[in-house]
Structure 1
Amino acid sequence: MKYFTVFLFSIITSFVFAQNDSLVTIKGTVINNETKLPLSNVNVINATRVIGTSTSGSGTFEIATKLNDTLLFSYIGYETVKVKVTNDWIKNNPTKIYLTEKAYVLDEVIVRQYELTGYVEVDTELIPVAADGYRYSISGLNAGYEAGDKSPGAVSRVIGSIFNPADLLYNVFGKRPAEMKKLKEMKKDDTVRNLLATKFDRETLAALLEIDKDDIPQILENCNYSEYFIQTANDLQIMDAISLCYEEYKILKKNK
C-alpha cells in the first residue's frame, strides 16, 4: 500500500508539472491611458517564445504563454510596455494593459547649415556626403565585413578581424549563446519582423534578445559595421546584421 501511495503521488506530481509546463492562451485588452479607449493594431510579442500577434479593432488580443514569460506591447507613438505573465493573469483572464503616448521634444532646427553660393559646381564641394559602407570579402564566408569608409583606420580594423576574427567575436557571441539562438526564431515570425521594420530605438530588439540596449552598437562595431549603418538602420536591419555576423562567427569558430 505504501509503494502504491508513492507511485500515485508521483503520477499526480508529474501531471501537475506537465500542466504547468504547457502553453496556455491568455487574453487581454490594450487601452489608451489618457482616453481610456481601446487601441487596435498594437503589436503584442511574447519575447520569451518569440511569437507575436496584434490587437483587434476593439483592442483585444490572445497569445500563447507560460508562467513568467515576458510580453511586449508596442505601438507607434506610445511607450513600449513590458509585462511578466503571472499566475493571477493566467487564472483571472482577461486583463487590461494601458499604453501612454510618448512626449516628444523637438530639437532646434538649423535652416541654413551650409553657406551655399548658388553655383552647383561650388556647392557640391561644400556639402558633405555620407560615405557608403564598404564591405571587404573574406574567403570562406558568405559575406564580408563593412568598414564604413576607405580610411586606413577602417581597413586596419577589417584586417584585424580577418587575422583573428573568432577571438574578436567571442566576446560578442560566445557569452550569449541563449540570446543568439533566439535570432532564428525572431527571423521566422512575421509579426516580429514587421514590428522591427518600424522601429529605430533598439528597445524592442534589446528586449527580445534579453540584452542591454547599449550592447547593440558594441556588437555591430565588433562585426565591423559602419557607424553610419549603426545609426541609421531600422531594428529589422540591425537584427539581420547581427544574425549574419553570428553565422560568420560560428563558421570561424568551427574552422579554427
Structure 2
Amino acid sequence: MRLKKLLILIGVALGPFVLRAQDEPVSEMLQEFTALVINAQTEEPLESVHVVNLNQVIGTITNAEGEFTIRAAVNDTLYFSYLGFKSQKIRVTNDMFRFGDTKIALTELAYALEEVIVRPYQLTGYLEIDVKNLPINTAYQYSISGLSKSYEAGNKNPSAVTKVLGAILNPADLLRNLFGKRPNQMRKLRLIKEDDEIRDLLASKFDRETLTELLQLEKVDIEDILSNCNFSNSFITTANDLQILDAMSSCYEEYKVLNRKK
C-alpha cells in the first residue's frame, strides 16, 4: 500500500514535466537554418532578399553577404522574394541542416514590355461635353433607405440584388460561408500581421503572390472574400498586399464576433 501511494505521489510530481515534454517536440524540431542566396546568372550574393517560412509564418531578410538565418523544421517550405527576380520556394531537408552550406539561386526576370497606346481624353473645356467622354464605371451599387452603406455587386446580373440582400439580411451566414471552410488559413492572419518582416514585404507587393502562398488561397478566393465584405472593386485591384491583408483581417474579426453571438 505504501509503495502504491509512493508511486502515485511520484506520478503527480512528475506529471507536469511529462506533459511539458509532450508539448515541446514541435518547438524542439525548430532549428536555426542558415543559407546563402545568390544570383543564378552571376553567382553574386543578393542582399535584402525576403525569406518567409510559410509553415511557421515568420520572415527575415538576407544581409550584405546574402546570408540569412531563420527558424525552421525539416519539411518546412521557405519562400524567397526579391524585386526583379523570380520568386522561389524550397523545402528544408535534413541534409541542409547537416551540411550547412546551402545556396539558393534566384533567377532574374526577363521583362518584355508590350506596346502601350495612350488615348488622352479629348477635353473641350465644356463640362457637359467632357463628362460624356469619360469612361463609365460599370460596377453597380445598391442602397436601401435607412442604411448608411451602399453595397457594390459588380456588373449587372440577375443575382446581383439577391447577393446584396443576402449580405445585409444574413451577414453571419454570408461570412460563415466565406471563412467557415478555411479555418486554418484564416488563423494565419494574426500571425502574419505580427511579423514585421512579412508586413514590410507585403507593403511592397501588389500581385497577391505572397499572400496566396502564405494563406494557401487562390487569388480569386481573396477577391471573393473582399468583394463580399463590401470592399469596392477599385480597392481590391489597386491596394497593396498589406492593405489587402488588413482588410481581410478586419472582415474575419467581424465574422468571429457575429459567430459568437449566434
Instruction: Report 1:52-201 matches (<5 A).
Output: 52-114=59-121, 116-119=122-125, 121=127, 122-128=129-135, 147=152, 157-201=163-207
Aligned in 2, Cα 1:230/1:20: closer, same or farther, shift over 3 Å?
closer
The answer to whether structure 1 residue 233 and structure 2 residue 239 are counterparts is: yes
Aligned in 2, Cα 1:148/1:106: closer, same or farther, shift over 3 Å?
farther
Q: Percent identity?
A: 48
Larger Rg: 2
Shift of 1:221: 2.2
Contact residue 142 and residue 152 of structure 2 kept, 8 A = yes
Contact residue 25 and residue 62 of structure 1 kept, 8 A = yes
- Return the match for 1:207 from 213, 220, 235: 213
Aligned in 2, Cα 1:243/1:133: closer, same or farther, shift over 3 Å?
farther
Contact residue 135 and residue 148 of structure 1 kept, 8 A = yes
Shift of 1:105: 2.8
Distance in 1, Cα, partners of 2:151 & 2:99: 51
Name the count of aligned residue pairs.
236
Contact residue 145 and residue 225 of structure 1 kept, 8 A = no
Distance in 1, Cα, partners of 2:230 & 2:89: 31
- Return the match for 1:49 from 51, 56, 64: 56
Aligned in 2, Cα 1:95/1:247: closer, same or farther, shift over 3 Å?
same
User: Which amino acid counterpart does residue 246 of structure 1 have in structure 2?
Assistant: Y
Structure 2 residue ranges without an equivalent (≥5): 1-17, 144-148
Distance in 2, Cα, partners of 1:146 & 1:102: 40
TM-score, normalized by length of structure 1? 0.80
Map of 1:6 onto structure 2 = none
Asked which structure has the greater RCO (Cα within 8 Å, sep 6+), the reply is 1
Greater shift, 87-96 or 186-195, is seen at 87-96
TM-score, normalized by length of structure 2? 0.78
Contact residue 153 and residue 164 of structure 2 kept, 8 A = no
**Aligned to 1:214, what secondary structure does the other structure show?**
helix
Distance in 2, Cα, partners of 1:131 & 1:242: 24
Shift of 1:34: 1.2
Backbone CA RMSD of aligned residues: 3.2
Distance in 2, Cα, partners of 1:204 & 1:171: 24
